[in-house]
Structure 1
Amino acid sequence: MSVSDWHRFLDDRGELGDLYDSLPALDLCDLFYVHFDERDISATLGFTTSVPPSNMPSEWIEKEFNTTEFYLVCSNMTETRVSGWGSVQAKQVKLAADDRGVRVTIGTPGAGIDFRASALSVTKTRAYKATSSL
């Protein structure tokens, strides 16, 4: 699967699906947040992207928003492995589906986060104006 096909695994595209006719490829998104919730046996991944929405709301245009933020909730996690974490690992996010769910791999086989989830949903989409880094 290419990094642009990740939307096929979503149970719910949320507001992000209304904003984009075609969701941005994961390699065009920056992972900035990972949260494990033992109560729901889930992980929430936070991403930002500077890919402009195809259906950008007029108020976003007026405020000159240039970044979209969204959260991907990975439910019913199993086979979880954490073996290091850092900025290098955050740059590599892969999803692969099989008959047991979706395998989420962040990082490389030797260092990163790896788990299987039975459902993926996008939640909490927002936009803002990000400054460019020098």
Structure 2
Amino acid sequence: MGLAIDDLPAEAAAVLRRRARAAELPVADYLRAELVARARMRTPEDSVVEFLASEGRDAMPEIDGDASALVTIYDLPAETLTVLGRRAHAAGHALGDYARRELIASARRATVDDAMLEFGEVADPEMDMAAVAAAVRYARGE
């Protein structure tokens, strides 16, 4: 296991690569932005982190081999590392494993834009992509 794009499950890696291309970013830069954004969103683990802090409990995660990639490959800001580390501890995971799980979870939360990017890769140039987008939005109840 690892945090490099090639270490993620193939389906997750494909979604994240597609998003990186659409954002016109190198994959590592996109994954960095994704991890920073996920650290800024509130998660269920945050309640556990807050409880542990209120009890004066240590919230340091296990630092596994993959955790170094968060600094060396993705150059994550200290604040992001702190948030992800506390959440990892609250969830009972090593820091690198938690970050990997976050990237996989992000890839699994497909959006309409994700569907359209995927259709765009295989669609006939004559296809009415606006109609496809409308159908996807309808099917998703949007």
Same fold? TM cut 0.5: no
TM (norm. structure 2) is 0.29
Largest Rg, 1 or 2:
2
TM (norm. structure 1) is 0.30
Q: Of Structure 1 and Structure 2, which has the larger fraction of its residues in helix?
A: 2
Q: Of Structure 1 and Structure 2, which has the larger fraction of its residues in strand?
A: 1
